[in-house]
Homo-oligomer: A and B are copies of this chain.
Amino acid sequence: MVFWLKRRRPRAEAPRLRPRVAATELARVDFTELVPDPLPYLGQAASLQLAFFESLAKAVATSPDLVAKEGLSVASGEALAKHHALIEELRRADAEPAEYLAMFQAATDHFRQLTSGADWHELLLGIHLTSGMLDDFFLRLSDGLPVELGRRVRGILAERQGAPVLEHLLTQAIASEPGLADRLALWGRSLVGDTLLVARKALEAAEPEARHGEDVEPVFTELIAEHTRRMDALGLTA
């Protein structure tokens, strides 16, 4: 579905189509070697920010109190601003935004539905964890973009005012509702797989052998480490 990454420097010395098992080999395949095709990169990133916006707007509309509503509306505005800034980069490159959004719409919609949860707290945790992982992912991938574009994209994705809002609301809820922590810990763990699939789809065309999971492990290891840190911050067992 998503075929837009290539390796920065194909290395003829290494066999490309078989698993690498040595730890040093594994460690060498990191984000700096991945070169995203700019337009689909922007399209997928913009598509995901729109999904985060839609989920956050749903969280605003179903918010049980006004202070939470207010904080979430700020987070929602931030995701929307990221979406619009990424769309603006597509326009700047003379691309038709709708075309590049369309490439990812079905997958993004499916992902949003899978991660929206059964109630308001699960919705919030779903947004917090998946946007955390995927913002990290796209931020790191931006190192492989053309220099000026990469710089602007990092400026766009670096905004993280929404994350502390979500963390605060979740921490409050977990502290005041017995049993919520266990349920959310389970929910948080279940989100990892779907989120990594979104990231993996972006990578696999660049590295066909990566489908077997060997090559891009370091990338995912970093994403999972940050996921664990986010879960820890909430007092949830990752």
Task: State the A residues within 8 Å of B (CB).
Answer: 50, 53-54, 57-58, 60-61, 66-67, 69-70, 73-74, 76-77, 80-81, 83-84, 87, 97-98, 101-102, 105
Alpha-carbon gap, A60 to B76, bound state (A): 13
Could you tell me if A80 and B83 are in contact, using CB atoms closer than 8 angstroms?
no
Contact of A76 among B70, B80, B101, B102 (CB under 8 A): B80
For chain A, what secondary structure do more than half of its interface residues adopt (helix, strand, loop), or is it mixed?
Answer: helix
Residues of B within 8 A of A74 (CB): 84
Min CB gap A47→B, angstroms = 9
Given A77-B77, A77-B84, A80-B77, answer yes or no on A60-B54 (Cβ-Cβ < 8 Å). yes
Are B60 and A87 touching (Cβ within 8 A)?
no
**Partner of A83 from B66, B73, B98, B105 at Cβ < 8 Å:** B73
* Centre residue among A61, A74, A76 by max chain B CB count within 10 A: A61
Chain B nearest CB, measured from A161 CB (Å): 12
Bound-state Cα–Cα, A105 to B60, Å:
13
Q: Is the CB of A84 within 8 A of B80?
A: no
Expressed in whole angstroms, the Cα–Cα distance for A74 and B91 within the complex equals 15
Complex Cα gap A97–B73 (Å): 13
Residues on B with beta carbons closer than 8 Å to the beta carbon of A102: 66
Q: In the complex, what's the smallest C-beta–C-beta distance from A110 to chain B, in angstroms?
A: 14
Residue among B54, B81, B84 making CB contact with A61, cutoff 8 Å: B54
What is the CA–CA distance of A66 and B102 in the complex, to the nearest angstrom?
7
Ordered by A's residue number, 27 sampled pairs between the chains whose C-beta atoms are within 8 Å are: A50-B60, A50-B69, A50-B73, A53-B57, A53-B60, A54-B57, A54-B61, A57-B57, A57-B58, A57-B60, A57-B61, A57-B76, A58-B61, A66-B102, A66-B105, A67-B98, A70-B87, A70-B97, A70-B98, A70-B101, A73-B80, A74-B84, A76-B80, A77-B80, A77-B81, A77-B84, A80-B80
CA distance A50 to B102 in the complex (A): 29
Given contacts A57-B61, A73-B84, 8 further A-B contacts (CB under 8 A): A50-B60, A53-B57, A53-B60, A54-B60, A66-B101, A70-B97, A73-B83, A77-B77
A134 to chain B, nearest CB (A): 19
CA of A60 to CA of B70, assembled, Å: 20
Cα distance, A54 to B69, chains bound together (Å):
11
In the complex, what residues of B have CB within 8 A of residue A105's CB?
66
